[in-house]
Amino acid sequence: METLIVDRLDGVVTVTLNRPERKNAANGVMLTELRATFEEVEDRAEDRAMVLTGAGGAFCSGADLSDPNGPASDPTRSGLARMRRLGGVAMALHHVTKPTIAKVDGFAVGAGLSLALGCDLIVCSDRAKLSMIFSRRGLALDNGASWLLPRLVGLARAKEIALFGGMWSAEEALALGLINRVVPLAEVDAFVDDWAAQLAAGPPLALSMTKTLLNASWQSTMEQAVEHEARCQALNFSTKDTNEAMAAFAQKRDPTFIGR
């Protein structure tokens, strides 16, 4: 690909944004490649966990506003169509039912931070810097941020983060509840590799169901949530993976999950 590096090892897909000369700003080509890659990961049974990261000491500095074919200025699309193209990337990531981890070093800004927040888990190096910088550029939120932010930090904090557009250190983002972990730069790769390996070795159906249940909880009543849980558990109890987990527990060994 022109703007991404995609590596696969032992069920873990690592997707690296690869425009380091622009701090991995998302141009039109990257938007197309990200959407296609997310859809491919969802379709491939062999892909059991995904890590999203950036090359060259940055995660993503947002949309590349200088790209003539990018989300700000593509002459072949109307303004609404251009932004729907960006939104399509957010939805493709949201529809990945496998566990996803954003590994963030350096800047994650604007649509780049939205992209990180769209992952299930976020691990930052201790030098990461995060910002919903939109308001400082005369822009509203995009790339799913208006949906993601209040669900992560609550409405009041989301408004503070979005309206002021300030820059947050990794430690500040952790205190706000935006991210899961802050790890020293020298240790962040090993930490994320360990998390990704654990997820890839886990029960694919059960992890997918768990993720879907949690994402749907905001639109569900308690009664609906309990019914959704019942349907998922009934299906799990009919799978080989759950039988394997029970047998492994009884035999005091690690289970081997096959995804069915």
pLDDT tens digits for range 30-80: 999 999 999 999 999 999 999 999 999 999 999 998 887 777 676 777 878
100-104 β-sheet, strand order: 4-9, 12-17, 49-54, 100-104, 121-125, 181-183
pLDDT at residue 83, as a whole number: 82
Is residue 258 included in any domain, yes or no? no
Same domain, 117 and 238: no
Residues 132 and 224 in one domain: no
Q: Identify the three-state secondary structure at position 144.
A: coil
For range 96-106, the mean pLDDT:
98
The CATH number of whichever domain residue 213 belongs to comes to 1.10.12
Q: Which range of residues forms the domain containing residue 64? A: 4-200
pLDDT of residue 69: 74
pLDDT digits (tens, 9 = 90+) for 105-120: 999 999 999 999 999 9
Domain CATH code at residue 98: 3.90.226.10
Residues 121 and 231 in one domain: no
Kindly provide the b/e burial profile for residues 196-216, where b requires at least 16 CB atoms within 10 angstroms of the residue's own CB. Answer: bbebbbbbbbbbbbbbeeeee
Encoded tokens for 28: 């039109």
What average pLDDT does this structure show over 139-145?
94
CA angle 205, 211, 212 (to 5 degrees): 90
- Residue 211 and residue 131 in one domain: no
Whole-number mean pLDDT of the chain? 95
Is residue 121 included in any domain, yes or no? yes
Q: Do 168 and 87 share a structural domain?
A: yes
Distances (CA, A) of 99 to 20, 95, 120, 164: 26, 11, 6, 31
Q: Report the distance separating Cα 16 and Cα 24, nearest Å.
A: 9
> What is the pLDDT at residue 79?
75
Residue 96 domain-assigned?
Answer: yes
Joined tokens for residue 256: 């081997």
Of 47, 148, 137, nearest to 91 (Cα)? 148
> Which of 124, 121, 140 lies closest to 132 in space, CA to CA?
140
Domain identity same for 145 and 207: no
Could you tell me where the DSSP H helices lie in the chain? 28-43, 79-94, 111-117, 145-153, 155-164, 170-176, 185-201, 204-216, 222-236, 240-251
Mean pLDDT of 130-146: 95
Q: Average the pLDDT over 231-254 and give the result.
A: 95
**pLDDT for residue 218:** 87
| Counted domains in the chain | 2
DSSP 219: G
Least confident of 74-88, 148-162, 221-235: 74-88
What average pLDDT does the segment 125-144 reach? 95
**Do 165 and 235 reside in the same domain of the chain?**
no
Residue 260 belongs to a domain: no
